[in-house]
Amino acid sequence: MSNYTPDRWVVIKISHGENIVYKVFACWYGGYAGGDSWKMNSGITGVVEENNYYVFSGASGSTYTCHKEHYGVNLYGQGVLSSLIAQAGELGATIEIMHEDTVFTEMIFPI
């Protein structure tokens, strides 16, 4: 099990027919020594609120500790996410970015 703390993050809703899954799409800035990176979790199974953070649990057992004020993606992440949205559309699926005002602790996450 791993714990990730992204620099920027969003929750995405992936729909294909009647199947729906919610995932954390996370981005990190690379800085001088490396490039920016991204990661998407296996599917949200639960979330708890801790002060200024949401801690999302994933189907693989990993957790993402996400600062509430860092909702959004960096430029690199936006490019990747746009590509994923286009690819999903070609397969008859949709990817939506959940609004930043969503109360994630009140959501039910189907897996």
Specify the pTM: 0.93
pLDDT attached to residue 93: 96
Tell me: the pLDDT tens digits for 14-47? Answer: 999 999 999 999 999 987 778 899 999 999 999 9
Tell me: the pLDDT tens digits for 4-17? Answer: 999 999 999 999 99
DSSP letter, residue 9? E
Tell me: the pLDDT tens digits for 50-93? Answer: 999 999 999 999 999 999 999 999 999 999 999 999 999 999 99
pLDDT attached to residue 1: 81
Q: Check: CB of residue 7 under 8 Å from CB of residue 77.
A: no
Report how far residue 2's alpha carbon sits from residue 48's, in angstroms, rounded to the nearest whole number.
Answer: 17
The confidence band for 94, taking pLDDT boundaries of 50, 70 and 90, is: very high
Residue 74: name the closest of 21, 13, 31 by CA: 31
The residue whose two tokens read 């708890």 is: 48
